[in-house]
Amino acid sequence: MSKRIIRRQLFPTLLKHLKAEEITLLVGARQSGKTTLLKELIRYLLEEKNVGKERVFYFNLDLITDLDTVSDQNEFIQTIKAYLARVGNKKIYCFIDEAQRIENAGIFFKGIYDLSLPVKFILSGSSALEIKSKIGEPLTGRKRLFHLYPFSFREFLDATEPSLGSFLRKEERLPQPIVRKLRELLDEYLIYGGYPKVVLANGRAEKMEFLEEIYSAYIEKDIVGLMKVGEPLVFNDLVHILASEAGNLSNIHSISSALKIDRRKIENFISILEQTFIIKVIHPYYLNVRKTIKKQPKIYFLDQGILNFATQLFFLFSKHPARGQLLENFIASRITADLYSSGRLSFWRTRDQAEVDFVITRGNQIIPIEVKAGELSSMSVSHSMSSFIKHYAPPKMYVVNLALEGSLRRANTKIEYIMPWRIDKLLQS
């Protein structure tokens, strides 16, 4: 396996925040690369900013020895003061991995932060549930939250074919040989996903082994260990059902009947899956928010490899029995990763079966997106697209597909046809 470090897209944003007084709080799924990213920040401080190693500290609270060093607040404060005394009270950097393992972690770090010592804390955690309950609320106004997801397709290219990454930054239409190569690599990404360990693995067998390892560790550590879910087999069955129906309307009553457990428990399990960065639940687009809550949501997986592991459908995209579901899930996961703090993701559906796959809302701006997995031969405006344009008149609408790039107009709406790998650029505009 390659030891090369892939520069994450989040890295420059985190670098800027190292200068801020508030706590940097990095959250994301297990093995999504949080520890590697923290160590890359440390390397940057030591090698490029020439911060002395006596001013940079790293604690991994999955290790008992590190947890023991940090867990007592009074003792840890004295340790910090001793570090500061040795460096003449210069600013020190304290990286703490899996910070939620400290009991009452939010109160713990609030107490230290409020002492106004020259310490910059950079914390990480794998569970938003634990982060919110143990860290988030007590640190209101004292921290900024960052989300790290598995590799985006662009990061995947940086890891596998670095020379192609520059092409995604170009506006113009790409040469056909490049498009064919991107399609080939997208096929691999759609099968195995973006967990760094899986991406950097050698061959199918090793990728499958690592996917199983990641999923098993998630069930054992997060679900049974941290969340104290006493029915891991039922939980696993639920994941399989949700994966099989990804992108469809989720009928909680039907799932409850199939698994023979109370719907409230199903809803709790779904909340756990979302808060531990396995799935994303999206609701219908309505101007009336209360109406949205009453409608059935859709569920997508935040990593293609975990989706396919749950269904055990590891086919090439061209032979996959659910191609539309696979491509739609890819788009949902990428939008979620780029939108976590700057917008809302919905879908639109009417009683007469008009449907638009995704609607991004940013303030008063709405961006509808249709996903087409078939090989389109021409650009056209479907009944659903026309209906949405008639209702909301968005300035732009996008059709993600695998064959066409170009645009047309319907009324005052510009409809752009784009390839799947353009989705990151769309979201950054």
pLDDT value, residue 255: 94
Task: Give the list of residues 6+ apart from residue 202 with CB closer than 8 angstroms, or none.
Answer: 1
Q: Tell me the whole-structure pTM to 2 decimals.
A: 0.90
Contact residues for 3 (Cβ-Cβ < 8 A; gap 6+): none
Beta pairing, strands 355-362 & 365-371 = antiparallel
Give Dmax (Cα) for the chain. Answer: 71
Q: Please count the CA atoms within 13 angstroms of the CA of 195 that sit on its side-chain side.
A: 31
Query: What burial class does residue 2 get, using C-beta atoms within 10 Å of its C-beta: 0-12 exposed, 13-18 middle, 19+ buried?
Result: exposed
Residue 146's beta-bridge partner residues? 26
The last residue of one of the domains, among 118, 148, 178, is 148
Total of domains in the chain = 2
Pair 90, 161 in one domain = no
Range of the domain at 143: 11-148
Q: Determine, yes or no, domain membership for 2.
A: no
How many beta carbons lie within 10 A of that of residue 203, not counting itself?
8
Shared domain for 217 and 360, answered yes or no, is: yes
Query: Could you tell me if 280 and 361 lie in one domain?
Result: yes
Q: Assess whether 144 and 160 both reside in one domain.
A: no
Give SS3 for 327. Answer: helix
Q: Per the domain annotation, does 60 fall within a domain? A: yes
Q: What pLDDT, on a 0 to 100 scale, did the predictor assign at position 292?
A: 44
What confidence score (pLDDT) does residue 352 get?
82
Eight-state DSSP code of residue 390: H
Domain identity same for 266 and 415: yes
320 and 424 together in one domain? yes
> Mean pLDDT per 10-residue run, the chain (429 residues)?
72 95 91 94 96 96 93 95 95 94 89 96 79 68 91 93 77 83 94 95 94 89 74 90 93 92 92 90 78 74 95 85 92 87 85 90 91 91 93 95 93 94 76
Helix (H) or strand (E) holding 162: helix 162-165
Domain match, 158 and 137 both = no
Residues 236, 135: one domain?
A: no
Listed residues 113, 148, 183: the one ending a domain: 148
Amino acid type, 235: F
How confident is the model at residue 2, as a pLDDT?
Answer: 44
